[in-house]
Amino acid sequence: MIVLKIAFRNIFRQKRRTVFTILSMFGGFVLAALFIGMADGTYNQIINKFTRNQMGHIQIHEKTFLDRPSLYKTINNFKKIDKELQNIDEIDSLCPRLYSAGLASVKEKSTGVRIIGIDSKRENETTQFNNKIIKGRGFSDIDSHEVIIGKTLAKILKAGLNDEVVIVSQGADGSIANDLYKVIGILETGDDITDRISFYLNLKDAQELLVLEGKVHEIAITIKKLSNVYKVNNIVEEKINNPQLSVEPWQVFAKSFYLAMKADKEGMWIMLLIIVLVVAVGVLNTVLMAVLERQREYGVLKAIGTKPFQIFKQVVLEVNILAIFCMIFGIGVAFFINSFFSTHAIATFKDIAYGGMKFNSMYAEINARSFYIPAITVFLAANLVSIFPALKAAKTEPAKSMRIH
Amino acid sequence: MEYNENNLIITKDLKKTYKDNGVYVNAINGIDITINSGEFTAIVGPSGSGKTTFFNLISGLDSLTYGKVWLNSKLISDMSGKELSDFRRDNIGFVFQAYNLIPVLTVEENIEYIMLLQGVGKKERHKKVLNILREVGLEGMRNRVPTKLSGGQQQRVAIARAMVSEPSLILADEPTANLDSKTGTELLNMMRRLNETTGMTFLFSTHDKMIMEKARRVITLKDGLIEKDEIKA
Ligand SMILES: Nc1ncnc2c1ncn2[C@@H]1O[C@H](COP(=O)(O)OP(=O)(O)O)[C@@H](O)[C@H]1O
Ligand SMILES: [Mg+2]
């Protein structure tokens, strides 16, 4: 009690020094909170761009399709599955896709493409397909031999709107598949590879071309809350209950992307290390100075019967009272700034490319992590560096410290 | 060792050698002395004669090089650091030349500090603080902080803190060195009065003639040895 009282009042003794300590702890905390909020915000933005606007959060395939894709590894009962998943609340929307490879030619230019058959209405509901079209329009409702191609692909083929493209591929029955389509749209996803090889057809047209009537290769599902992905994945798996099919969350079907994102997050620890250093230098410097100045006082306290541990506690408590004070303030300020940047993007001067995708604005996210990780870091750093001065104070020898001549 | 229950401090061939930058300094060179309960004794001698060192040795604030010290019939020269800490808290009241008080605590808090360490209840602490403040003439000052007191008043608070838990010995190392002579004499008169009314043992050091006049026994140190030991009327 008396130890706490002395610790508390010591805070107000050397105002300038206290301010300096507070600034280093407060600054360290706020910086870390902003950094994590920003990093998490950007991270989620990237994941969203990759999942919600492209791959979906969960995908269903024939169970070996992803390892060794093949025309024949199809999902044969899409209609039934679609119905089964209709009433799962957490699901936002879903769409079927059909894949194959082919050779596309416009006049004398030709190149290999990835044929993607989509249900235009549902694809648009699920991944905002039409938003990616930068020229032309989306598919019309009736299947009428239309094609939408990636921006880079259009350049390679020297194809423009209304040009006719010949596609050659193989049908599931072994026949040569070829047909003629009219370019009605050009799209840009921000993903280099997708923009270079994508050749989107109406699902009906693709099924007819590849002789896969009623069959699809992939069902992409988006869900309402990203963090629920594993839970929803399990629900879907149980619902369709088909050992021939695999149901996987984005962390599995887009493993390399997931690992890259995770590795990127490790960068956070370097930032935290810097903050530890800022706090450590600030706190060590001031606490050490205070302890040296108060040698006589500790000498008197020890002479009249104070135990070393009580002196140790007095120093550590003083630092912690300051730390708590800084946290309360810091949480308020960091919350305010993060809130601001969660709705107001920070514009970057140049586009930031990530995994072939481009970004030009960053948003912060407000989450518990961005407060408790800095809080723990600052507390640990402050306590760690106060151990040495506190020990020094505790070990004060009364006779020596009070010697006058 | 012959021992009389009236003996408060006994030292036997007490020696202290400091090593300062490789140079040995013999601060105390073999002191045998007995101080009895209730004494009002001055240790005098010029600066560097060993007064502070002697006080530090008999109170266990510093380790001795040779010899033995008994205080209150306890052989304190053999005690561990933790034992000494408790022993000092319960048996010795300290008054130093300066910087006695904790600047962030009020007069009352400074005085009750030792009682807090001892676990004395709030009511009793408060009662004792009020009593001792009256004794040292500082009624009404209990909520002041030390920086708002004069030097003489600060030393009175230090004496109050030293006496409040009724230890067997009050050890005051040059308590008047930082005071003007009038204030110093007043402080000594007060200490003597407290010695007479409470019967507590006071051992203080000084190199001031006026101050040593007030003592009933004057022990003179020179180069770490007792030069003179005179009892006055
Ligand atoms: N910690 C120390 N290290 C080295 N020498 C010391 C130390 N403390 C005291 N001395 C020396 O011991 C002698 C006695 O000092 P002290 O007890 O302080 O005398 P006084 O209190 O009478 O002035 C002096 O010569 C002093 O320099
Ligand atoms: Mg001295």
CA of B96, nearest ligand number: 2
Residue B46 CA to ligand 2 center (angstroms) comes to 9
Residue closest to A36 by CA, chosen among A366, A393, A390? A366
Position in ligand 1 atom list of the atom nearest CA B47? 23
Which helix (H) or strand (E) element contains residue A355? none
* More confident site: B117 or A14: B117
Alpha carbon distance B72, B81 (integer Å) = 18
Enumerate domains of chain B plus CATH numbers. 38-52+80-231 (3.40.50.300)
Question: Contact, B41 vs B188, CB < 8 A?
Answer: no
Q: What span, in angstroms and rounded, lies between the C-alpha atoms of A151 and A193?
A: 10
Among partner residues A2, A300, A399, which is closest to B99 by beta-carbon distance? Answer: A300
Q: Are B206 and B41 in contact (CB under 8 A)?
A: no
Take atom 5 of ligand 1 and give the residue whose Cα is closest.
Answer: B18
pLDDT digits (tens, 9 = 90+) for B33-43: 999 999 999 99
Does B175 score more than 60 pLDDT? yes
Contacts of B161 in chain A (CB under 8 A): 304
Q: Touching check for A304 and chain B: CB below 8 Å?
A: yes
CA–CA dist B15, B4 (Å, integer): 23
Residue A57 zone, left/alpha/beta (φ > 0; ψ -120 to 50; rest): alpha
pLDDT at B191 over 60: yes
Check if A368 contacts B (Cβ < 8 Å): no
Which range has the worst mean pLDDT, A235-244, A324-333, B2-11, B173-182? B2-11
B112: alpha, beta or left? (left if phi > 0; alpha if psi -120 to 50): alpha
Q: Is A370 helix (H, G, I), strand (E, B) or coil?
A: helix
Which atom of ligand 1 is found nearest the CA of A399? 1
Torsion angles phi and psi, residue B161, rounded to 5 = -65, -40
Contacts B103 to A, Cβ<8 Å = 13, 297
Among the partner residues B82, B104, B117, nearest to A10 by beta-carbon distance = B104
Q: Do B61 and A398 touch (CB under 8 A)?
A: yes
Q: B215 CB contacts (<8 Å, ≥6 apart)?
A: B40, B41, B42, B204, B232
Report CA-CA distances (Å) from A45 to A221, A361, B189. 18, 10, 82
Write a three-state SS string for chain B. CCCCCCEEEEEEEEEEEEEECCEEEEEEEEEEEEEECCCEEEEECCCCCCHHHHHHHHCCCCCCCEEEEEECCEEHHHCCHHHHHHHHHHHEEEECCCCCCCCCCCHHHHHHHHHHHHCCCHHHHHHHHHHHHHHCCCCCCCCCCHHHCCHHHHHHHHHHHHHCCCCCEEEEECCCCCCCHHHHHHHHHHHHHHHHHHCCEEEEEECCHHHHCCCCEEEEEECCEEEEEEECC
Mean pLDDT of B11-20: 95
The CA distance from A85 to A93, in Å, is 9
DSSP state of A174: S
Task: Provide CB contacts within 8 A for B166, sequence distance 6+.
Answer: B198, B200
d(CA A382, CA A325): 13
Residue whose pair of structure tokens reads 């912690």 in the numeric block: A320
Is the Cβ of B99 closer than 8 Å to some Cβ of chain A? yes
Q: Tell which residue, B116, B159, B115, has the closest CA to residue B137.
A: B159
> Among A51-55, A251-255, B17-21, B110-114, which range has the highest average pLDDT?
B110-114
How many angstroms separate the CA atoms of A157 and A162, rounded?
13
Could you count the other beta carbons within 10 Å of the beta carbon of residue A230?
12
Residue indicated by tokens 């026994």: B217
Q: What are the extents of the domains in chain A?
A: 2-51+258-404, 64-242
> Are A17 and A286 spatial neighbours (Cβ–Cβ below 8 Å)?
yes
Residue B86 to chain A, least CA–CA distance (Å): 6
Provide the shortest C-alpha distance from residue B233 to chain A (in Å): 33
And the tokens for A27? 């600054």
Confidence of residue B70 (pLDDT cuts 50, 70, 90): very high
Q: What is the SS3 assignment for A95?
A: strand
The stretch B148-176 carries a mean pLDDT of 95
Helix A2-10 / helix A308-343 crossing angle, nearest 10 deg: 50
Using the 8-state DSSP alphabet, how is residue A113 labeled?
E
Tokens of A305: 């019967």
pLDDT in tens, A14-34: 888 888 888 888 988 998 888
Tokens coding B95: 């008054």
Q: Which residues line ligand 1 (CB under 6 A)?
A: A 400, 403, 405; B 18, 20, 25, 27, 45, 47-53
Residue A48: closest CA among A255, A224, A259:
A224
User: Encoding tokens for residue A3?
Assistant: 């130890």
E strand intervals along A173-310: 176-187, 198-202, 218-223, 245-249
Strands B169-173 and B201-206: parallel
The predicted model scores a pTM of 0.78
What is the value of ipTM here, to two decimals? 0.94
Size of interface A-B (CB pairs under 8 A): 65
Residue, of A279 and B198, whose pLDDT is higher: B198
pLDDT digits (tens, 9 = 90+) for A172-231: 998 998 899 999 999 998 778 889 999 999 999 999 999 999 999 999 999 988 888 999
Distance CA A102, CA A166 (A): 10
Smallest CA–CA distance, residue B60 to chain A, in Å, is: 9
Q: Left if phi > 0, otherwise alpha if psi is -120 to 50, otherwise beta: which for B219?
A: beta
How much is the pLDDT for B2? 60
Q: What type of residue sits at position B81?
A: G
Say if the Cβ atoms of B105 and A399 lie within 8 Å: no
What residues of chain A score a pLDDT lower than 50?
none
User: Is there a contact between B85 and A306 if contact means CB atoms under 8 Å apart?
Assistant: yes
Residues of A in contact with B61 (CB under 8 A): 303, 398-399
**Given its phi and psi angles, is residue A13 left (phi above 0), alpha (psi -120 to 50 degrees) or beta?**
alpha
pLDDT at A266 (0 to 100): 75
